[in-house]
Chains A and B, each alone.
Chain A
């Protein structure tokens, strides 16, 4: 039995409609992401934390590094958090406004995380994609190098570097940049190994596209999903790493501060009755880390092809 002309027409229409409604990988992922309550919560939290870090300084009359001598050493009873004095989060032992310091600490911590993750994305992706694409001996040498670098206890080497070349923001960034790309290189390489056998890469190779262009134009865009997930999850790890170093007093130096340095200060003043010095940095730290973890997990669920 032949199908009726009308049916055929409607099928054609349906096909056309389907084409119009076609969804890209990213649109698909976006839908899934926004259906995930924890991820949306994380995103809102992240936006709040970012607004706090960028614009928080406008809501206080105090500067983060101005010492109020009338409060110095007396902050246990004069520097109590209150809206009347304008010290919303109280003051630290030197009489500096804790709110302004937490704003800066959050900003620096996030900056360390984001810069480190950016380095990881750029260096790690290109390195991993190159190793994976060329394969063979090139791959062997490149990945063995990563293996060797990974088995070095970098926390100690970074501290060694900070001691020898002086404790500065630049050294901190350099040190974090040096380690952050290693995992990313491995992940990017693994993914490249599966991509490079796909037809489109073969076609590009067959028509004589330069290998560098194949990597940049055909492989790297296909890595972006997994790279985005991993980069988002790397940010909180790097923030924790930086806080660890700053907690020891080796990271960000006075008068600048970071969440780790503030936590350390709060912890050492814990017995002096200035509990807010620990409490507010702790809340800022927990919110920041949670926000990144939730968004990263949400992205992973949204982009992971396993669950489709």
Chain B
């Protein structure tokens, strides 16, 4: 097991480095620097500014400084647009918000999706099953950017029950709509995967044996069926978590929740490269870490995996 984790880490760390280098090279290759504006600065001023941000140094020195800063001190450097803030400040401000509703959405999608899928499989061809299947088919055309306007239209504009935006320190009224918008389509995917995998497991011989020896239905399901049925779901949870963080771009813009998504898109329009890179690298490392975690869990649950 340890060697398996070590080998996975051996892949994960170079991947992260590739990501850092790739985004740096992309930034370096950009035509025009971050300080080229409509009204060109005097060359002396431009040279001074570039010296301040270290942009006058040769490429290898810049990239080495950047990589060393990121790796040793998690320092993503200063923002090119906000003079008094570093990328770290911006992340520290936005990331907790993103993580809050992202984690809620993840939990809601996983718990509701798995329960719905498992219940549908156990009561196959019942009204519950048909409802679950109908939901999974319907929800696949409702990604977050479609759900968000629909929800606001219904619950804010027509019913007036919930606020259509704002964060307000993470009050539950402000959390509900973003969480539903973010989780619906993944909830549907998780339910669909759970249902088909559960159906497959329920038809196997060891479940028939468990039933034949007189175990109660709940014991058969929780003790024997659920664990193997979870394997395909587990491998889908890794990407799901990443989508939750990616989806924050839409949620932050639409609901003005103030997470990193907002800063990401703003800096995309302002060509604030260091912020874009910082957030890309942050999300990338979370992706890689989470995939690693899922792989380890997978290997731990499934004894057939050779590691």
A148-B18 contact, Cβ under 8 Å, with A156-B283, A160-B277: yes
Q: Is the CB of B276 within 8 A of A160?
A: yes
Q: Is the CB of B149 within 8 A of A157?
A: no
Chain A interface helix/strand/loop/mixed: helix
**Nearest Cβ distance between residue B131 and chain A, in whole angstroms?**
17
Q: Is the CB of B145 within 8 A of A160?
A: no
Q: Is the CB of A153 within 8 A of B141?
A: no
Contact with B along A149-167 (1 / 0, CB 8 A): 0011101110111111100
Contacts of B287 in A (CB 8 A): 151-153
Q: Is the CB of A163 within 8 A of B253?
A: no
Contacts of A263 in B (CB 8 A): 145-146, 149
A248 touches which one: B141, B146, B250, B276 (CB < 8 A)?
Answer: B250
B193 on the A face (CB < 8 A)? no
Residue of B nearest to A297 (CB): B137
B99 on the A face (CB < 8 A)? no
A159-B264 contact, Cβ under 8 Å, with A286-B141, A289-B140: yes
Residue of B nearest to A248 (CB): B265
A224 on the B face (CB < 8 A)? no
Chain B interface helix/strand/loop/mixed: helix
Contacts of A275 in B (CB 8 A): 153
Contacts of B146 in A (CB 8 A): 263, 282, 285-286
Contacts of A156 in B (CB 8 A): 246, 264, 276, 279-280, 283-284
Q: Is the CB of B15 within 8 A of A151?
A: yes
A280 on the B face (CB < 8 A)? no
Contact with A along B256-295 (1 / 0, CB 8 A): 0000000011001101010011011001100110010000
A151 touches which one: B148, B268, B291 (CB < 8 A)?
Answer: B291
B58 on the A face (CB < 8 A)? no
Q: Is the CB of A260 within 8 A of B246?
A: no
Contacts of B268 in A (CB 8 A): 159-160, 162-163, 248, 250
Contacts of B264 in A (CB 8 A): 156, 159
Please give the residue numbers on chain B whose beta carbons come within 8 Å of chain A beta carbons, in ascending order: 11-12, 14-15, 18-19, 22-23, 26-27, 29-31, 137, 140-141, 143, 145-146, 148-150, 152-153, 157, 242, 245-246, 249-250, 253-254, 264-265, 268-269, 271, 273, 276-277, 279-280, 283-284, 287-288, 291
Beyond the given pairs A152-B19, A153-B280, A156-B280, 18 more chain A to chain B contacts, judged by CB atoms under 8 angstroms and listed by A's residue number, are A151-B12, A151-B15, A151-B288, A153-B283, A156-B246, A160-B26, A160-B277, A163-B268, A244-B143, A244-B249, A248-B249, A263-B145, A264-B145, A267-B254, A271-B157, A278-B153, A282-B146, A293-B140
